Structure 1
Amino acid sequence: MRIGAHVDSTDPLGEAAARGAETVQFFLTDPQAWKDPEPRADADAVLAADVDVYIHAPYRINVATLNNRIRIPSRKLLLTHAQGAAALGAKGLIVHGGHVGSGEDVAVGFDNWRKTFEYGAKAGGFPTPILIENTAGGDNACARRFDALARLWEAIGDYEVGFCLDTCHAFAAGEDLLDAVDRIKAITGRIDLIHANGSKDPFDSGRDRHDNLGAGTIDPELIVAVVRAAGAPVVVETPGGVEGQGADIEFLRDRVGR
């Protein structure tokens, strides 16, 4: 099981080495911007390194929305970031499940996800696996509650799409972590990546605030149990930089083999 961290994109290999990370996740652009990624000077080094790479798509992407001004550029941005991720040999491009607006029919959001994969297929396919991540809040979200996730997979299950389980998000969304892996695999058939994060806020808070594994409101041994059950690579998106994330990586590495 490969364990690592989300790091700054300036020197991801250096950040990985400082944390003792076997996997590394980072953004290709400002996550709040509508920007296509540019070729990286360290691409050859990243490709040659014995570190598994995951890329997180910009937060602005929302392919589910009914707003054309957001949905259409979101589809295009998802494709260009998948292309940028492929240039680095990334194993997956993580993107949030998105949402529709207040009072709008979330079923349209699920269908917009289907149209996104249809768009990608017409463009020759997404060159990096798309891993949809569950989200923490929002009554109109496509991937907060697992029942919504099941409806999403009904719309997109015919496409080759992966899943990223975030422990903080599931906890904040009001989903019990004890059997989360079994319930998700019953829906998606797979878990490709775990975001092993503690939570600063209580169960079912709807708030997305990560904490270190020895802190916060989630029993860290419950996170360990999720990691063990999933058997997937792990990325911590926790605070504290090298020291905090390094400690979380060692915490998991020490326990997942038990």
Structure 2
Amino acid sequence: MRIGAHVREDIDPLASAEKCGAEVVQFFLADPQGWKKPPAHPMAEQLRAAASAGDATLFVHSPYVVNLASTNNRIRIPSRKLVTQHAEAAATVGAAGLIVHGGHVTAGEDPAVGVQNWQKFFARQADEGGFAVPILIENTAGGDNAMARRFDALARLWDAVGEFDAGFCLDTCHAFAGGENLVDVVDRAKAITGRIDLVHLNNSRDEFNSARDRHANIDSGTIDPDQLVAVCAAAGAPVVVETPAEGQASDIAFLRERLG
């Protein structure tokens, strides 16, 4: 099992990964709060070489502003464009996938429309040859009309996009804050998606079902660290900690010791 971290230094992700002992490296290719097309990465050649040699497994996280479920054309259409652009840019650095949050519709809107918007995007892209890298849909922590907070909603989304070979990223903090029991979360997720491609292994600063997405280091949150280890072991997928940077090296070392 490969273990790593989301690194904050996007210019030289490999150097940041080395500092915290990460074998899996996740990073942004552009401002996570912005709508601009990602520029060519200055270390694309080195990143591709590291991925090709097996020295690092790379993942790119899409900007937080992306909402493919939105009924607002001014959000949904730019979101589609941004995901396509980031997938293309992720391919240039040798990334194994692009993580995209499930998104949501607003209060009073029908979540089924958000599901349809996801399905239309995947179907259109399939007609155009697919995405440059796999799209890994990540479960989220809050929002009553979210596509991937509750697992019943995730099941409806997967019924719409699963045929297009979508991937799945399981975030432990998000699941816990979203009201999903971590004891059997892997089995339930796999029953819906058939796969877990990546685990975001984060503790939570808040209580169960808080709907708040505030990550904590493994030994300092409200989730039992033993339960987090059990999720990793059951998932059998690469692991990325998105925990506070000052504790990431310790988080990675803890997981390596416990998981072998």
Q: Does residue 79 in structure 1 map to residue 80 in structure 2? A: no
Q: Is the 8 Å Cα contact of residues 126 and 164 (structure 2) preserved in structure 1? A: no
Q: Does residue 186 in structure 1 map to residue 191 in structure 2? A: yes
Q: Does residue 6 in structure 1 map to residue 9 in structure 2? A: no
Cα distance between partner residues in 1 of 2:93 and 2:125:
19
Please, what TM-score do these two structures have when normalized by structure 1?
A: 0.97
Cα distance between partner residues in 2 of 1:58 and 1:122:
24
Cα displacement string for residues 146-188 of structure 1 (whole angstroms, at most 9, x for unaligned residues): 0000000111111010000000000000000000000000000
Q: Is the 8 Å Cα contact of residues 201 and 239 (structure 2) preserved in structure 1? A: yes
| Matched residue SS, 2:118 | helix
Q: 1:44 aligns to what?
A: 45
Please, what TM-score do these two structures have when normalized by structure 2?
A: 0.97
Q: Does residue 148 in structure 1 map to residue 153 in structure 2? A: yes
Q: Does residue 247 in structure 1 map to residue 250 in structure 2? A: yes
Cα distance between partner residues in 2 of 1:2 and 1:105:
39
Q: Which of residues 83, 92, 105 in structure 1 aligns to 2:97?
A: 92
Q: CA shift at 1:11, angstroms? A: 1.3
1:208-219 map, 5 Å: 208-219=213-224
Q: Is the 8 Å Cα contact of residues 17 and 23 (structure 2) preserved in structure 1? A: yes
Structure 1 runs of 4+ off > 4 angstroms? none
Letter of the 2:27 partner, please give it.
F
Cα distance between partner residues in 1 of 2:76 and 2:192:
25
Q: CA shift at 1:116, angstroms? A: 1.1
Moved more, 113-122 or 101-110: 113-122
Cα distance between partner residues in 2 of 1:253 and 1:222:
15
Q: Which 5+ residue runs of structure 2 have no aligned equivalent? A: none
Cα distance between partner residues in 2 of 1:38 and 1:218:
38
Letter of the 1:158 partner, please give it.
E
Q: CA shift at 1:189, angstroms? A: 0.2
Q: CA shift at 1:229, angstroms? A: 0.1
Cα displacement string for residues 39-86 of structure 1 (whole angstroms, at most 9, x for unaligned residues): 112111111111110000000100101001100110111000000000
Q: Does residue 203 in structure 1 map to residue 208 in structure 2? A: yes
Letter of the 1:14 partner, please give it.
A
| Matched residue SS, 2:230 | helix
**Number of paired residues?**
255
Q: 2:141 aligns to what?
A: 136
Letter of the 1:191 partner, please give it.
I
Q: CA shift at 1:121, angstroms? A: 1.8
